Structure 1
Amino acid sequence: MMSELKKTPLNDYYREVGAKLVDFGGWEMPVQFTSIIDEHNAVREDVGIFDVSHMGEFKVTGSEAVDFLNYALTNDVSKLKVNRAQYTTICNEDGGVIDDLLIYRLDDNTFFLVPNAGNKDTDYEWLTKIDGYDVEISDESDDYAVIAIQGPNSRAMVQKHVDEDLSEMKMFDAKQNVSLAGQEVLLSQSGYTGEDGFEIYMKPDSLEELWKLFKDDGATECGLGARDTLRLEAGLPLHGQDLSPEITPIEARIGFAVNANKDKFIGSDILKDQKANGAPRRLSAFEMTGKGIPRTDYEVFDTEGNKVGYVTSGTKSPSSGKAIGFALVDTDFYEDGKEFIVKVRKREIPAQFVKNFK
């Protein structure tokens, strides 16, 4: 028997406005409100809002919190200043990515972790099984709802409703206990779109009021479809496709989230070796040069018919109109501009590697 999907506090509202709902990581979430292209373009050109309340929230506290997190995570938490966030990963002993997440430092010994929705329970179980540290780990996911407000005009829109000066906030800056339209929130300069923007953590009963506040300001309501096309255009990986327990952060080209200079951490033997000597595979951006849209798990071949990898993510870019994607390929095969073949169903479609999507 299938378990009932979890719902954010906006679920009734979604039904009222006719949003298209899908199962995403065990949550009933909107994939689109109007059209993915319109929502995507609104974020690139103006402002879009996303309900990301399905994401998890953990707190880690204690006198040995830094040591614990430096063992459990791949980045160096000791370098994280109060009111700053850091991108990092939880890896297994083989170096594969159990999850990628943001971690915020709220004070010297208190950290706020934001795992992916579908991995939250796995992450919590993994972290709580690590022994030998004086820390307390609490799953506070039910205590938070989250709005992501993204786009070139998002900063001005948020600024209208807070007293703090947001002009100097840069990527991964955070402000605690901010009063936003009378609601106390954690405000983070972050997002998953490649645009300027903020993620706003609040009490669940504040979500609908603040959602409608930004909507009335002119923000476009956006679903998961646009979130996916936006993040792929920006070259950002998605766990479950571009990242997985079988793919290391070095292979996924997010080696900046692995600090090889710190002491032993879970997966460090393999990750330190891959960072120093290279990984056998690499996640590589590409564009289709023939007609066809790449999709996850499509096979990738060289021009002589030898399999060299597979597509992890793919879509038609609303911004460029090109069919784009990520492929995990043999490192020795990759070369910028190199041509290869993507097997789209029974057709062999030409493609080429690119440094980034334009």
Structure 2
Amino acid sequence: MPLQFQGIRQEHQAVRQQVGVFDISHMGKFLLRGGNSLEALDCLVPSDLSRLKPGKARYTLLLNPEGGILDDLIVYCQADDEVVLIVNAATQERDHDWLQAHLPETTHLSDRSDSQVLLALQGQLAQSVLQPLVETNLAQLSVFNHCQTEIFGHPAFIARTGYTGEDGFEIMLPPAAGLHLWDNLLEQEVVPCGLGARDTLRLEAALPLYGQDMNEETTPLEAGLDWLVHLKRKGDFIGRSILERQAAEGWPRQLVGIAMLGRSIARHDYPLWHEGISVGYVTSGAPSPTLGINIALGYVPPHLASPGQRLEVEIRGKQHPAEVVKTPFYRRG
């Protein structure tokens, strides 16, 4: 995916106000089959997958024994013995090897990343643009639901998921059909969007980026993803004991939303200060095209994580005022 096609701001606003399309085929696409694939996967993630029914999806995490995040992913249940996983491109190979090492022999893991195209159609007009191309009634496809259908006579997997904070669909299909769909959408004047707009859109929605806002040394509780950790669920999962300890005793840092109080822009790895003491660092930052302010995510000690807390961001040796704010920065109305 290129950084931009027509310009980051233009592409960003197209998704917020109408509709845009992203080619996210670089994402990893795995298929689990055989045995009870869902039950086997349930033992490897902190979220309770036992009630996940066919046609439903769940966002969750892969953790190491220390509770650190190996990757975030979406689990799509097609049947008890068939599950689709979408993982990050940068961790695709590692995720495959890790899953292969931890899944039982009765569960077969296949990598479909090179044989399937993945497009993300995002924005309030996404349904009206896609509906004429499929027989499935998309109005009946709720958020984090998915279905199998056809597009241009080819099998297509459609999920009502995304990474922009807007309504939309992620569509997986064979390469030839994917190219046909891309061309068709552009003929309908859907705006092609690049990585730049994808990043500003997800930042406004306060959706963390793996490798930047979280990594192997970050636990879900620190990253504000405690809602993915189901400690009351039955059974064990990798990293559980560490997360139980953090839940009982607390954790050393917290990912927070930050708004700059001037025109300065906070960027990745910029230091955060409070009353002359270095207290954390910025993980993501950019101007918000929707809000017209400069926003960021970053880690600070829990006692400095409340909205309204004043901080300073060090930019080229000078400290600039900022404030902790509630997230998401933008929420679809």
Normalising to structure 2: TM-score of the pair? 0.95
* Residue from 104, 107, 118 that aligns with 2:90: 118
* Alignment match, 2:29: 57
The corresponding residue for 1:313 is 284
* Alignment partner, residue 82 of structure 1: 54
2:328 aligned with 1:328: no
Does the CA-based 8 Å contact 2:120-2:162 persist in structure 1? Answer: yes
Assess if the C-alpha contact under 8 Å between 1:296 and 1:314 holds in 2: yes
Q: What is the CA–CA distance in structure 2 between the aligned matches of 1:249 and 1:219, rounded to whole Å?
A: 36
State the Cα RMSD in Å: 1.3
Structure 1 distance, partners of 2:326, 2:199, is 19
- Alignment of 1:248 onto 2:215: no
Q: Deviations over 1:40-99 (max 9, x none)?
A: 000000010000000011111222423321221221121211011100000111111110
| Cα distance change, pair 275–109 in 1 and its aligned pair in 2 (3 A) | farther
Q: Deviations over 1:279-313 (max 9, x none)?
A: 221100010002310111100010x2111111010
Q: 2:250 aligns with which of 256, 261, 278?
A: 278
Q: Which residue of 1 aligns with 2:202?
A: 231
- Are 1:40 and 2:12 counterparts? yes
1:68 is matched with which residue?
40
User: After the TM superposition, which segments of 4 or more aligned residues of structure 1 sit over 6 Å from their partners?
Assistant: none
- Following superposition of structure 1 onto structure 2, how do residues 168-317 of structure 1 map, counting pairs within 5 Å? 168-176=140-148, 178-262=149-233, 263-302=235-274, 304-317=275-288
| Equivalent pair of 1:64/1:133 in contact (CA under 8 Å) | no
Structure 1 residue ranges without an equivalent (≥5): 1-28
- Contact residue 282 and residue 297 of structure 2 kept, 8 A: yes
In structure 2, list runs of 5 or more residues that go unmatched.
none
Corresponding residue SS for 1:231: helix
Contact (CA 8 Å) 1:68, 1:133: kept in 2 or not? no
Q: 1:348 aligns with which of 306, 319, 322?
A: 319
After superposition, the Cα gap between the structure-2 partners of 1:277 and 1:337, relative to the gap in structure 1 and judged at 3 Å, is same
Task: Tell me the equivalent position of 1:13.
Answer: none
User: Displacement, 1:346?
Assistant: 1.1
Task: Map Cα deviations across residues 231-259 of structure 1 (whole Å, 9 max, x no partner).
Answer: 00011000011110011111111112222
TM-score (norm 1): 0.89
1:72–1:90 CA contact under 8 A, matched in 2? yes
| 1:149-164 equivalences in 2 (<5 Å) | 149-164=121-136
Q: How many percent of aligned residue pairs carry the same amino acid?
A: 40
> Matches of 1:344 and 1:137 in 2, distance apart?
46
User: Deviation digits for residues 78-134 of structure 1, max 9, x if unmatched?
Assistant: 121101110000011111111000010111211111100010001011111126553
Q: Corresponding residue for 1:21?
A: none
Tell me the residue number matched to 1:22: none
Stretch of structure 1 that moved more, 154-163 or 126-135? 126-135
Contact 2:37-2:107 at 8 Å conserved across structures: yes
